[in-house]
Copies of this chain bind each other. A is one copy, B any other.
């Protein structure tokens, strides 16, 4: 902030501040990220993270939430939204100095972004494919940081429920972990862990049959936000 010496608003370099979003969801058991196709230079035709400029009287969080609803075409902000980190290399945008505050959003399975809306040109891309293909600006780095944050937070928070609809089964939750971590988990040990963590799951008393197999108990997210001890990735 705002150091003491010699303040004059016109003396200081002004930069543009944007928010970029890493929006993750699960589609058909696959972890996907929302990408847009750029219509202009630089990086015309390349895929990029959705984002936009922060408005003059808007909080950073509010700007991220606004962009999220604009790009997904939904009414409310679904799931979870948190600040990731900021990126401000002088070279990251050839046009001018742009500092971008990246946000991470996690959402339950969302519909394909509607064409015709602001969300036109946006699409869900499996993260393996998105990480492989080139992305505009430094968005590959931002995506990688967002993925790492998501993977890490599943270990020690109840954030996985943000990928689930309001009611879900233990198998649904396990599918989240398996998709985000890209690794199968033992159903029995996973069940023991999540049902044994106080406050993580709230039993609705109902069950749901999904075709084959024994019906599963239906839960809602409980009040707990942290996992102690954590659920580790390594194995």
Contacts and interface: CB of A to CB of B under 8 A. Distances in A.
A218 interface: no
A9 B89 contact: no
A59 B97 CA distance: 10
A217 interface: no
Interface in A71-124: 83, 85-90, 93, 95-101, 121
Interface hub of A12, A18, A136 (most chain B Cβ within 10 A): A12
Contacts of A28: none
Contacts of A121: 4
Given A17-B15, A17-B88, A99-B99, A2 B48 contact: yes
Given A4-B36, A12-B16, A99 B60 contact: yes
Contacts of A36: 3-4
Contacts of A3: 18, 36, 50-53, 67
Interface string A32-66: 00001011100000001111111111111000000
A166 to B, nearest CB: 29
Given A15-B17, A88-B101, 17 more contacts: A1-B19, A1-B52, A1-B98, A2-B98, A3-B51, A3-B67, A7-B95, A9-B95, A13-B56, A14-B16, A15-B15, A17-B17, A54-B99, A60-B87, A60-B99, A85-B86, A86-B86
Nearest to A5: B39
Given A16-B14, A59-B89, A90-B57, A38 B99 contact: no
Contact of A56 (B59, B89, B97): B97
A234 interface: yes
B54 A88 contact: yes
